């Protein structure tokens, strides 16, 4: 494989880089958000007016959702151009607007949704006017997602929902939820599920925040008690929601710009180490920083393999699992090197200008955040099973 850009890709990269330089508002330049590693380009806690301006400028190019059809406001970019665009946005540490709505809900509706759903939701998702959360995981159904027990019982033109979801990111600020619920408890577990769109203002929904070890309240438990849901809000066929959910999960696997964020973290660590000369800057840690940069390039090459397969019309199922497995475990290795670099002071996680906390506490918070990397989006154990069975042809048991 030739790892260099083709001439058209190089020209597009130069165009994107120049456009970002001329259009990214000054308030958004430099360190993304508060510099919280793992959210380098999320727009977290940033100037809302500047974010709206930036989103509008991206929309004029179709770059908020570059893979979408132009009829829905996308740019219909090919896979390699999507890769280039994501790399350049990440390198510039410019906010990207993805999340559940753009990344998962809208593509699923384009494929499985009714026409009224497409007209009602997709434009608002693109404009950022409505926020979404994903009601899939439950206390007893995480990696084995088909085991969900939340029930949706038909009652005329409505379904009555009872049950519980967990690890629901952003449920406390979401307007809508994509909900996977069991509609036929007598059917095999993959064949008795249905997929719904649920208004989060519906009576009977209650939330309980889940505070993670880094002090972040983004997760939630969601409880449903006799929640009445219009039957017309079902996406796809009744009892065949697993196959709709599989479409959603397919869109969750893209990691093509993650390696850029990792590289930016390491470069920031190197700049800080040169300037501050922390006590933890031992030869072992120096070697670790170099090793992590090499592994970031490995991640990029693995991502390029996935993108090149998609560009040829092939389905990279176990190859995508290799990227997920390697990248998530790399994040934990990076966090360990960063933690050692800061020495004992890395245990301080203050977000304010504490003179004792290196990089405003980011070293410690990065270590805490990284613990979830091998769990979220599919555990390392699940990824290894996929690689073993689909990639190596090993038996399931």
pLDDT, tens digit (0-9, with 9 covering 90-100), for 196-243: 999 999 999 999 999 888 777 788 999 999 999 999 999 999 999 999
Q: Is the confidence at residue 352, as pLDDT, over 80?
A: no
In a domain, 148, yes or no: yes
**Domain holding 337: CATH number?**
1.20.140.10
Domain shared by 31 and 82, yes or no? yes
Tokens read off for 354: 């504490």
Within 10 Å of residue 335's Cβ, how many Cβ atoms? 25
Mean pLDDT for the stretch of residues 351-361: 75
Q: Is the confidence at residue 183, as pLDDT, over 90?
A: yes
Active site residue 7: no
Which of 197, 192, 141 shows the shortest CA–CA distance to 166?
141
What backbone phi and psi angles, to 5 degrees, belong to 158? -135, 165
Q: Which of 252, 264, 291, 381 does the annotation list as catalytic?
A: 252
Q: Is the confidence at residue 42, as pLDDT, over 70?
A: no
- Mapping DSSP onto H, E and C, the string for 127-170 reads HCCCCEEEECCECCECCCHHHCCCEEEEECCEEEEEEEECCCCC
Domain shared by 224 and 265, yes or no? no
| Residue 191 CB-half CA count within 13 A | 3
pLDDT of residue 225: 98
d(CA 316, CA 67): 18
Domain shared by 147 and 90, yes or no? no
Q: Is the confidence at residue 274, as pLDDT, over 90?
A: yes
Domain boundary among 71, 96, 121: 96
Which of 279, 274, 383, 370 shows the shortest CA–CA distance to 324?
383
Mean pLDDT for the stretch of residues 310-329: 87
In a domain, 14, yes or no: yes
Domain shared by 264 and 387, yes or no? yes
Highest mean pLDDT of the ranges 35-39, 224-228, 254-258: 224-228
Q: Is the confidence at residue 397, as pLDDT, over 70?
A: no
Domain boundary among 184, 212, 241: 241
**Domain holding 79: CATH number?**
1.10.540
pLDDT of residue 291: 97
Domain shared by 303 and 196, yes or no? no
Least confident of 81-85, 224-228, 237-241, 346-350: 346-350
Question: What is the number of helices (H) and of strands (E) in the chain?
Answer: 13, 8
d(CA 170, CA 172): 5
Domain shared by 231 and 290, yes or no? no
d(CA 218, CA 209): 7
Domain boundary among 36, 70, 96: 96
Mean pLDDT for the stretch of residues 65-89: 91
In a domain, 267, yes or no: yes
Identify which has the larger pLDDT, 148 or 43.
Answer: 148
Say how many domains are in the chain. 3
For residue 197, give the H/E element and its range: strand 193-199
For residue 349, give the H/E element and its range: none
Mean pLDDT for the stretch of residues 334-338: 96
pLDDT of residue 33: 41
Q: Is the confidence at residue 251, as pLDDT, over 60?
A: no
pLDDT of residue 38: 45
State the pLDDT confidence band at 44, using cuts at 50, 70 and 90: very low
Domain shared by 56 and 154, yes or no? no
pLDDT of residue 349: 81
Domain shared by 75 and 137, yes or no? no
**What's the predicted TM-score (pTM) here?**
0.84
Domain shared by 267 and 232, yes or no? no
Any idea what the Cα angle at residue 71 is, between residues 66 and 74, rounded to 5°? 10
Domain shared by 375 and 304, yes or no? yes
State the pLDDT confidence band at 46, using cuts at 50, 70 and 90: low
In a domain, 110, yes or no: no
Q: Is the confidence at residue 254, as pLDDT, over 80?
A: no
Any idea what the Cα angle at residue 250 is, between residues 96 and 237, rounded to 5°? 120
Within 10 Å of residue 397's Cβ, how many Cβ atoms? 3
- Which residue range forms the structural domain that includes residue 214? 132-241
Domain shared by 386 and 273, yes or no? yes
Which of 50, 31, 49 shows the shortest CA–CA distance to 41?
31
Least confident of 75-89, 120-134, 194-208, 227-241: 75-89
Domain shared by 146 and 233, yes or no? yes
In a domain, 343, yes or no: yes
In a domain, 126, yes or no: no
Identify which has the larger pLDDT, 213 or 341.
Answer: 341
Identify which has the larger pLDDT, 32 or 197.
Answer: 197
**257-270 per-position pLDDT tens digit:** 788 889 889 998 99
In a domain, 249, yes or no: no
State the pLDDT confidence band at 348, using cuts at 50, 70 and 90: confident
* Coil vs helix vs strand at 20: helix
Alpha helices in 145-238 (DSSP H): none
Strand bridging mode 176-182 / 132-135: parallel
State the pLDDT confidence band at 250, using cuts at 50, 70 and 90: low
Identify which has the larger pLDDT, 175 or 36.
Answer: 175
Mean pLDDT for the stretch of residues 76-104: 88
In a domain, 27, yes or no: yes
Mean pLDDT for the stretch of residues 47-51: 85
pLDDT of residue 241: 95
**Mean pLDDT for the chain?**
88
């Amino acid at each position: 494989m030739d790892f260099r850009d083709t001439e058209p890709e190089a020209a597009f990269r130069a165009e994107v880089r120049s456009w970002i330089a001329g259009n990214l508002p000054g308030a958004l330049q430099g360190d993304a958000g508060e510099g919280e590693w793992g959210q380098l380009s999320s727009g977290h806690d940033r100037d809302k007016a500047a974010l709206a301006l930036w989103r509008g400028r991206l929309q004029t190019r179709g770059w908020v959702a570059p893979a979408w059809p132009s009829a829905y406001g996308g740019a219909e970019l090919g896979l390699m151009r999507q890769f280039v665009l994501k790399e350049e946005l990440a390198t510039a540490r410019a906010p990207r607007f993805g999340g559940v709505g753009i990344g998962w809900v809208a593509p699923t509706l384009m494929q499985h949704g009714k026409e009224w759903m497409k007209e009602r939701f997709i434009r608002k998702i693109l404009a950022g006017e409505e926020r979404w959360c994903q009601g899939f995981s439950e206390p007893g159904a995480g990696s084995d997602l088909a085991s969900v027990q939340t029930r949706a019982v038909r009652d005329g033109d409505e379904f009555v929902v009872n049950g519980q979801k967990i690890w629901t990111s952003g449920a406390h600020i979401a307007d809508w939820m994509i909900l996977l619920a069991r509609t036929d408890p007598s059917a095999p577990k993959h064949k008795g599920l249905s997929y719904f769109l649920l208004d989060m203002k519906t009576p009977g929904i209650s939330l309980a925040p889940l505070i993670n070890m880094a002090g972040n309240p983004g997760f939630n438990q969601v409880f449903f008690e006799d929640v009445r849901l219009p039957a017309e809000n079902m996406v796809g066929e009744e009892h065949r929601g697993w196959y709709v959910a599989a479409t959603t999960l397919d869109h969750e696997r893209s990691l093509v710009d993650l390696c850029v964020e990792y590289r930016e973290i390491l470069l920031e660590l190197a700049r800080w180490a040169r300037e501050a000369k922390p006590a933890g800057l031992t030869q072992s840690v120096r070697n670790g920083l170099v090793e992590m940069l090499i592994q970031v390039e490995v991640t990029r090459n693995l991502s390029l393999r996935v993108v090149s397969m998609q560009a040829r019309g092939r389905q990279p199922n176990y190859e995508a699992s290799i990227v997920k497995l390697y990248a998530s475990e790399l994040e934990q290795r990076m966090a360990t090197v960063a933690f050692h670099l800061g020495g004992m002071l890395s245990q301080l996680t203050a977000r304010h200008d504490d003179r004792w906390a290196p990089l405003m506490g980011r070293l410690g918070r990065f270590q805490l955040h990284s613990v979830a990397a091998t769990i979220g989006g599919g555990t390392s154990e699940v990824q290894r099973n996929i690689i073993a069975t689909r990639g190596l042809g090993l038996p399931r048991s």
